[in-house]
Amino acid sequence: MANPPDERVDAPGGLTDRWVPSALEQERRAYRRSRTVRSAAIASISTILVVGALGWVLTHSSGWPRVQETFFDWDKAVASFPAVLSGLWLNIRVLLVCAVLITVLGLTIAVMRTLRGPVFFPLRLFGAAFTDLFRGLPLLLVLLLLGFGVPALGLDGLPQEAVFWGCAALVLSYSAYVAEVFRAGIESVHPSQRAAARSLGLTHTQSLRFVIVPQAVRRVLPPLLNDFVSLQKDSGLIAVLGVVDAIRAAQIETARDFNFTPYVVAGVLFVCLTVPMARFTDWVARRQGFQGSGLV
C-alpha cells in the first residue's frame, strides 16, 4: 500500500510565518492586558489593607507586649536557631526515608487490593485490614504504641532506637492513606485500557505494570504530593518519643526560661520546608490538567 500523505496535519505548518494579528485581535489583546493590570492592582491594594488592619489590631491589643516578649523575642530566636535547625535536619532525613518506604508499601497494598481471583483472597483481605486499621488509628497512638510498647517487650534483634519506631509509625499510617490514593488511581484507568492490554496477550501482572499503574500514578501525583506535604509536618510528631528533632529541640530551648520563641522559629522553618513542596504540587497539578485534557 502506498503511504497516504497526512495532509491534514502537515499543511498549516508553512503558512503561519507572515501572519500579523488583525486589528480586532490586537484590540482584544490590549483589553486582556488592561484587565490583568487592573486585577493585579486590586489584589495588591486589598492585601495591603487587610494585612495592615490585622497587624494594627494585633499590635494595639492590651496583651501584645507580653505576647511579643514570650513568642517573638528576636534575641531568643537568634540564640535558639542553630539548635532548632539541626533538629530540622533530622526531620528532613526522616521525611526522605519515610517518603520512599511509604510509596513502595502504599503501592504494594493498593495492587494487592486490586488482585482478582480466589487465590489472592488472603492478600486482598490483608490489604483491606491494613488500610482499615491504620487509617482508623490516630497517628499519635501508633507512635506511642510502637515507640514505647515494642522496645519495652525487650525482644532480641528488634531495634531499640526511638527514631526507628517513629519512622515505622509514620510509614504504617501514611501507607494506608497513600494506598487508597493509588487504588483510586488504578480504578480510574478505564477498563478498556485493561481490555486492550489483555487482548495483546499481556498477563494480568504485565498489564498492571506496563499499562495501568503508570497511568494511575500520573493521575494521582497531585494528591500524592499533597500527602507528602502533610508528612513533612507530621514528621515533627516523632518528638513525643524523645527524638531530638526540630520541635523537641525547640522544647528544650524553651524549657530554660519559658520563652516560647523557639517554637515560633520551628514553625517558621517547617513552613519554609513545606512551601516549596506545595508550590511543586500545584505546578504538577497544573501541568497534568493541561496534559489530561487530551486524554480519555
Partner 1 sequence: MSLLSVRGLRKSFGSNVVLDGFDLEVSAGECVVLIGASGSGKSTLLRCVNLLETVDDGVIHLGSEDITDPRVDPDRVRSRMGMVFQAYNLFPHLSVLDNITLAPMRVHGRPRADATAAARAILERVGLADKASVRPDELSGGQQQRVAIARALVNSPELMLLDEVTSALDPELVGEVLDLLISLKAEGMTMVLATHEMAFAKQVADRVCFLHGGAIHEEGPPAALLGAPSRERTRAFLSRFVGL
Interacting residues toward partner 1 by CB under 8 A: 1-6, 8-9, 192-193, 195-203, 206, 210-211, 214-215, 218, 294-296
Minimum CB separation of residue 220 from partner 1 in Å reads 13
Least distance to partner 1, CB of residue 4, Å: 5
Beta carbon nearer to partner 1, 119 or 152: 119
Among candidates 238, 296, 246, which has minimal Cα distance to 271? 246
What's the CA gap between 233 and 215, in Å, rounded?
29
Q: Which is nearer to partner 1, 155 or 296 (CB)?
A: 296
Least Å from the CB of residue 287 to partner 1: 14
DSSP 35-63: HHHHHHHHHHHHHHHHHHHHHHHHHTSTT
- Least Å distance, CB 155 to partner 1, is 44
What are the residue ranges of helices labelled H in 137-188? 139-144, 150-153, 162-188
CB of 168 to partner 1, least distance (A): 34
Nearer to partner 1, 2 or 15 (CB): 2
Give, in degrees to the nearest 5, the angle at Cα 253 between 251 and 256: 105
198: which residues sit within 8 A by CB, 6+ positions away? Answer: 204, 207
The CA–CA distances, whole Å, from 159 to 150, 216, 240, 266 equal 9, 36, 18, 29
Rounded least distance, CB 184 to partner 1, Å: 17
The Cα-based distances of 204 to 107, 211, 225 in angstroms read: 16, 10, 28
Question: Please, which residue, 39 or 203, has the CB nearer to partner 1?
Answer: 203
Q: By the 8 A CB rule, do 262 and 80 touch?
A: yes
Would you say 19 or 290 has its CB closer to partner 1?
Answer: 290
Q: What is the DSSP letter of 237?
A: G
If the CB atoms of residues 62 and 192 are measured against partner 1, the closer one turns out to be: 192
The radius of gyration of the chain from alpha carbons, rounded to an integer in Å, stands at 27
